[in-house]
A = this chain, B = another copy of it.
């Protein structure tokens, strides 16, 4: 299979014309407009023909592992945010880097940083290229730009089965690292929606959210130590399970989004592959009732692996739950150590006490297998298919985008209402129609991370402008309601204005000072975070 040069994932997995028409017709009916004819998909030759000339050749000292070919440049131009898809669909690759550098060792990373610093070439570390916040869009800003692709720094280098940790190179894709770990009975169990195409280094640089709904919700807590090559040398922390020696250095690398250095490898904490699984689907007449159950479960000390609440519209759009108009809570526990009946029984009771129903009860497995069928399985399938559908929708003039946040429980209901209303209003105003759905993806004792999906008809040629207006409305609504601008999509270039308002001002000054110290030439991913 071949990666699409403009769309999500594998070219071969993009929805068929038929599937697209069926989904498009359904949405058009919802929007009250006649079905649109799908425009033809873009062609790589056209994209290449329209590509601006490279403004800078790879420096001689690193030319051996650089590629300034138009195809390489096109393929490293964008992440996979909605505006990236729109520009890619329109064969606009004006933000392509001038060349791509693919170092095969830390020494080559260091050499690349040095060569680019001397010439003032911007360097954007590039893992899987799945950023949805403009985090890997380094070119087209009037300054020579290099995409530093970690693809060759991929592999599991060491395994420590006693401490249950592995040393893994930053360019390792999700499936590759799991394939290397699981034969040893171990797993990282970090499954973001981008799992197939994103890398360990990208997860660390962006503090990616993963599989677990509670406790280890993001990659941060899996990181035991990090190696990051910076213009000021190797930033290498030591392997400790925990340390109280000063501010944690890893926590400054986590979320640094490529502005301080190139993460090359990390020791990460692993889990044994689960043997026992328990799952249940609890239905709630209304989303907020489900959210109250989530809060009670989050505060119970039971720590489910999954506890995702999907509102009725999202359930319908994803073909989950049979269109009953109910919100669905997908609840699951897993363990390699013990059967989970007491955990699930109590969590289910909390759900029922909060007004939920669970006619089919819980399912238990002790063979390591997932429970087949049911809402969870359908949800998982829809979850990984969604980005393909989103890409396909571009051809139909349908915007499908998501944003997420986290807020304390005390603000949750108000945020949910205000954001839903503001964004629905913005979609109507800007697009004439549109729907907003919500799910809760991650839970904390003191709050939750709601994840919003918005779908609306857009006008060909005006999509980017319309999207910018909608994105601003959504971000303003989130900030006004006391949510963070991002729980796990990162800041990138898209969230920069709201991030600027959210962080403590002296911390911003501190981060700028760190940047000046570590990257005095200011070459690393300019425009991101700072």
* Chain A interface residues toward B at CB < 8 A: 160, 162-165, 206-209, 215, 217-218, 224, 228, 230, 232-249, 251-257, 260-261, 269, 271-272, 295, 299-303, 335-338, 341-343, 346, 406-410, 442, 444-449, 482-491, 495, 499, 502-507, 509-514, 516-518, 529
Contact = CB atoms under 8 A, between A and B. Distances in A.
13 contacts: A162-B410, A208-B244, A218-B242, A235-B504, A239-B482, A240-B406, A242-B449, A244-B486, A244-B488, A247-B254, A248-B251, A249-B507, A510-B514
A251 B252 CA distance: 8
A357 B82 CA distance: 60
B206 A244 contact: yes
Contacts of A529: 246
Contact of A255 (B246, B295, B343): B246
B241 A444 contact: yes
Contacts of A513: 513-514, 516-518
A165 to B, nearest CB: 5
A518 B511 contact: no
B506 A234 contact: yes
B163 A244 contact: no
Given A252-B252, A502-B238, A244 B487 contact: yes
Given A228-B506, A241-B407, A242-B442, 15 more contacts: A162-B295, A208-B244, A209-B244, A230-B506, A234-B504, A239-B482, A240-B408, A242-B487, A244-B490, A245-B503, A246-B499, A269-B446, A337-B346, A342-B343, A513-B517
A335 B445 CA distance: 14
A302 B337 contact: yes
Question: Which of A230, A295, A338, A490 has most B Cβ within 10 Å?
Answer: A338
Contact of A235 (B244, B300, B507): B507
